[in-house]
Amino acid sequence: MSSLWIQNARIIDPASKRDATGDLCVNDTGKIVPALSPAAKKRARKIDAAGLVACPGLVDIHVHFREPGQTHKETIATGSRAAAAGGFTTVVCMPNTTPPADNAGTIQAIKDAAARDAIVHVYPTGCITAGMKGQNLAPIGSLKRAGVVAITDDGDCVQSSRLMRSAVEYAKMFDLPVMDHCQDHALTQGAVMNEGIMSTRLGLRGWPHAAEDIIVSRNVILSHYTGAHIHLQHISSKYSVELIRRAKSRGTRITAEATPHHIALTDAALATYDTHFKMNPPVRTEEDRQAIIEGLRDGTIDIIATDHAPHTDYEKDREFDFAPNGIIGLETALPVVLDVLMRRSKFRLPKIIDLMTRRPAELLKLNAGTLAEGAPADICLFDPAEKWVYDAKAGQSKSANSPWHNHPLSGRVKYTIVNGVLVYGNGKLDH
């Protein structure tokens, strides 16, 4: 491995409160260093980053790479390449694979595939319940020993409060966060979009806010009584934001995430029955969208995560009621977030980078999200102003189910560096 010398970049590192134009140096062991020796500078690979922002590699703690068992949609290899193209150097995979990641053997298989095929850091999560069936706990202790960074039944919220209480108590003993997809199934039978004026107009079964709010309330109570860390995934409801805000004011160990699509879109986008806008939880109203943005602004919502959920064209190209929920998002997350938060909502750029680097890394105690001396050289270089049109079919993901296909975007990742190795540069993978 050769040294790397990034020159003339605007370096933003929220972990060290750094925001200044300068150079970034990486030694031949893949670590961030203050400077290179004259001899090392001569040998180093140089990147002129004038006009670019250099920040820690982005961190996404909510992706679906579909391996094992659903590799027609995505693999760890293709998913990690999509991550690199989007500036992400660290991702955390959900366990709703086939079979579900509810045992040490499956976790080891995922880790082996990541070590063999991934070009970014890939961490596994394990299931809360056996088979993700919501009936019996998975072996949480052995999952921890196998290397999971959290447990979740993402996509199949645990409905039993008794079982969820046991899960968070065990998880606390093993120092594992519990990540929960907040959905009361009894309120969403047959639902396909947000319940409201638009669902009535389109004749589609509505998905009420209460389905999320009730489970958020339950998790707040369980976290309060047990002291366990519960992380609430892809919050979509205004009332849920307020519940989380009040819980945090009391010191409850609740954290939460928002997705790029929930801060960018509303249910009005479904007017043409385009299944690329069908997701779980559904995009909701403008009032909900603004509440999520304000939650990100004041710290009620801790991080941004993509919920990258690949599906094939033939799965999505069905009647709206029968198409699966979910969209891909790794390659478009940064420009979408820059547009919504920086340009339209006047967030400062370091705040946005913090939401996508240091905070998610700290939330799951990952060795990522900083450009501090001695840290792994996981770096994202992007042009915050470059205009481009996203072609999902030409992207790195194995699937193309994106609402931003053929959509003009502003802000583009130019280089992604993992452990000091350039894995993506100027639209091309180096691996």
Query: Tens of pLDDT along 202-221?
Result: 999 999 999 999 999 999 99
Listed residue (332, 312, 315, 322) closest to 391, CA to CA: 332
Whether the Cβ atoms of residue 30 and residue 39 lie closer than 8 Å to each other: no
DSSP bridge partners of 33: 25
4-53+375-397+405-429 with 58-363: one CATH topology? no
Give which of 281, 142, 262 is closest to 210, Cα–Cα. 281
90 is written with which tokens? 């660290």
- List CB contacts of 389: < 8 A, sequence separation 6 or more: 406, 407, 408, 409
Provide the 10 A C-beta neighbour count for residue 242: 15
The chain-wide mean pLDDT, for the chain, equals 97
CATH superfamily, domain at 58-363: Metal-dependent hydrolases (3.20.20.140)
Q: What's the CA gap between 140 and 128, in Å, rounded? A: 7
Binning pLDDT at 50, 70 and 90, where does residue 1 land? Answer: confident
Whole-number Å distance between alpha carbons of 268 and 196: 10
Strands 254-258 and 230-232: parallel
Enumerate the domain spans of the chain.
4-53+375-397+405-429, 58-363
Using a 10 angstrom Cβ sphere, with 0-12 exposed, 13-18 middle and 19 or more buried, the burial of residue 250 is: exposed
Distance CA 304, CA 261 (A): 10
CA proximity to 119, closest of 87, 94, 149, 84: 84
Q: What phi and psi values does residue 424 have, to the nearest 5 degrees?
A: -150, 130
* Structure confidence at residue 140 as a pLDDT band (50, 70, 90): very high
pLDDT in tens, 7-38: 999 999 999 999 999 999 999 999 999 999 99
Find residue 303's DSSP bridge partners: 257
Confidence of residue 431 (pLDDT cuts 50, 70, 90): low
Tokens 């941004």 locate to: 304
pTM of the model: 0.97
- Predicted pLDDT of residue 185: 97
Among candidates 123, 91, 120, 89, which has minimal Cα distance to 371?
Answer: 89
Give the integer Cα–Cα distance in Å for 263 and 265: 6
Q: What are phi and psi of 228, to 5 degrees?
A: -80, 155
Is 307 an active-site residue? yes
Reported as a single tens digit per residue, the pLDDT across 242-295 is 999 999 999 999 999 999 999 999 999 999 999 999 999 999 999 999 999 999
DSSP state of 57: P
- Write out pLDDT tens, residues 191-201: 999 999 999 99
CA atoms of 334 and 356, how far apart (whole Å): 9
* Mean pLDDT computed over 356-378: 98
Residue with tokens 């979910």: 326
Spatial distance between the Cα atoms of 278 and 319, rounded to a whole number of angstroms = 11
Q: For the segment 379-424, what is each residue's pLDDT rounded down to a tens digit?
A: 999 999 999 999 999 999 999 999 999 999 999 999 999 999 999 9
Instruction: Note the pLDDT of residue 2.
Output: 86
Whether omega for the bond prior to residue 384 falls within 30 degrees of 0, making it cis, is no
| H-assigned helices in 62-149 | 76-85, 104-117, 140-146
307, 317, 339, 391: which is the annotated catalytic residue?
307
Q: Is the peptide bond before 99 cis (omega within 30 degrees of 0)?
A: yes
DSSP-derived 3-state class of residue 247: helix
**Mean pLDDT along residues 101-121:** 98
CATH class in words for 4-53+375-397+405-429: mainly beta
